[in-house]
């Protein structure tokens, strides 16, 4: 986790702003986000629908569509600025240096072509290989993502695969040209829990082996807990907390992260009521003054309502909360400890 700190980051997003032009003026969808991902590191990006997590991923891959536009900040891939590239340059970049995995594996694959044809086409677009070499590499890739009998399955069509197997093919496609960065947007959300675990294991192993940096966008804290090294929590287009996964999950600093963690039901202990964060995330047209979370925050005080907090370093992470600056981290509500987990194995 921390051993990557000395190496230069693969992805460096600095003060990114994304706006949507509407009849009523520009809507700020992303309002000043900065994050880095080191080689071989998995950064989990969490938040509720509409917090801007997928939009951040879209901007990095250069797939942002009008009326959305990057209105400020920089995105650097291995030191090179990529937010101002032309469409042509971006197309060469995608697939070669940035891979993408999306939620629904069926829409990521062309139903009319065999998976082999899709893999070979992608490999040959980006790497100098002839057909036979590319096919060989495709088979190796399919074996790497744990697809049984890749020599025969390579000639099958996407509908002949189950959901989990399709998502493995999509991972193989994303890793075709050995990219430096993979953006995985809700890669396990459409899958059953038992298959989820398999996919996470594959993704994690491959990124370690290839030294690929991964931005794992998800709303599922369980997936984050298992896959990510560091977590970035988003709320209303802003980053509210960043830190090593264990810190964020067990000792969240920001009241929003705490609320989010406490609202997840657990099988470890019985509660009559779940903790809930009152209200809902503000619409982009009505982001409150000061800290965007202040109307829902149980600890909000005067300063929160007028002045917007930036990320303030604390321990190994950072949180955008005035309480943190004043050294008065709200005490995390106690959750169950490990001891209450009754082992159910033989």
Q: By the criterion CB under 8 A, which residues form the site for other proteins?
A: 48-49, 162-165, 192-198, 200-201, 219-223, 225-226, 245-246, 249-250, 259-261, 263-268, 270-277, 280, 335-338, 341-342, 344-346
Q: Pull the structure tokens for residue 207.
A: 């990124």
Residues 6+ apart with CB under 8 A from 100: 57, 61, 94, 174, 182, 183, 184, 185
Beta bridge partners of 274: none
DSSP string covering 58-101, please?
Answer: HHHHT---TTEEEEEEEEEETTEE-TT--HHHHHHHHHHTEEEE
Minimum gap (Å) between residue 47 Cβ and other proteins: 9
**From CA 77, how far away is CA 60, in angstroms rounded?**
9
Q: How far is the CB of 164 from other proteins (least distance, A)?
A: 5
Contact criterion met (CB below 8 Å) for 163 and 107:
no
Closer residue to other proteins (CB): 95 or 158: 158
Neighbours of 72 (CB within 10 A): 15
Least Å from the CB of residue 341 to other proteins: 6
Strand (E) or helix (H) holding 182:
strand 181-185
Query: For residue 66, what are its two tokens?
Result: 């009008």
The rounded radius of gyration (Å) of the Cα atoms in the chain is: 21
For other proteins, the closer CB: 182 or 223:
223
Q: Which is nearer to other proteins, 181 or 202 (CB)?
A: 202
Looking at the Cβ atoms of 93 and 109, the one nearer to other proteins is: 109
Token output for 60: 């990095």
CB of 124 to other proteins, least distance (A): 31
Closer to other proteins at the Cβ: 24 or 273? 273
Helix axes 163-175, 193-210, angle to 10 degrees: 20
Least Cβ distance, residue 121 to other proteins (angstroms): 27
149 is written with which tokens?
Answer: 């009998």
CB of 170 to other proteins, least distance (A): 16
Minimum Å distance from CB 274 to other proteins? 4
Q: Taking a C-beta distance cutoff of 8 angstroms, is the pair 109, 96 a contact? A: no
Nearer to other proteins, 268 or 328 (CB): 268
Residue closer to other proteins, measured from CB, 68 or 259: 259
């Amino acid at each position: 986790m921390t051993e990557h700190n000395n190496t230069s980051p693969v992805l460096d997003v600095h003060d990114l702003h994304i706006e949507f032009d509407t009849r009523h003026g520009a809507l700020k969808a992303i309002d000043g986000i900065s994050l880095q991902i080191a080689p071989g590191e998995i950064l989990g990006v969490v938040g509720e629908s509409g917090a801007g997590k997928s939009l951040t991923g879209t901007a990095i891959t250069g797939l942002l569509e009008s009326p959305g536009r990057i209105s400020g900040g920089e995105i650097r891939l291995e030191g090179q600025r990529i937010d101002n590239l032309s469409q042509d340059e971006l197309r060469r970049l995608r697939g070669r240096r940035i891979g993408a995995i999306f939620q629904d594996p069926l829409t990521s694959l062309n139903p009319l072509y065999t998976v082999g044809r899709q893999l070979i086409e992608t490999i040959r677009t980006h790497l100098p290989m002839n057909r036979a070499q590319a096919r060989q590499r495709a088979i190796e890739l399919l074996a790497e993502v744990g697809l049984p009998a890749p020599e025969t399955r390579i000639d099958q069509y996407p509908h002949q695969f189950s959901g989990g197997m399709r998502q493995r093919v999509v991972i193989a496609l994303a890793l075709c040209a050995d990219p430096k960065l993979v953006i995985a947007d809700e890669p396990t959300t459409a899958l059953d829990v038992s298959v989820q675990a398999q996919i996470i294991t594959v993704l994690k192993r491959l990124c370690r082996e290839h030294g690929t940096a991964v931005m794992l966008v998800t709303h599922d804290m369980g997936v984050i807990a298992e896959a990510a090294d560091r977590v970035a929590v988003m709320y209303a287009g802003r980053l509210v907390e960043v830190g090593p996964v264990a810190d964020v999950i067990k000792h969240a600093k920001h009241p929003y992260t705490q609320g989010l963690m406490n609202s997840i039901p657990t099988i470890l202990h019985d509660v009559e009521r779940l903790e809930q964060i009152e209200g809902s995330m503000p619409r982009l047209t009505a982001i409150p003054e000061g800290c965007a979370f202040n109307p829902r925050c149980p600890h909000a005080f005067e300063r929160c309502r007028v002045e917007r907090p930036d990320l303030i370093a604390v321990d190994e992470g950072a949180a955008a909360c005035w309480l943190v600056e004043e050294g008065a981290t709200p005490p995390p509500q106690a959750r169950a400890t490990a001891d209450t987990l009754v082992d159910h194995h033989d």
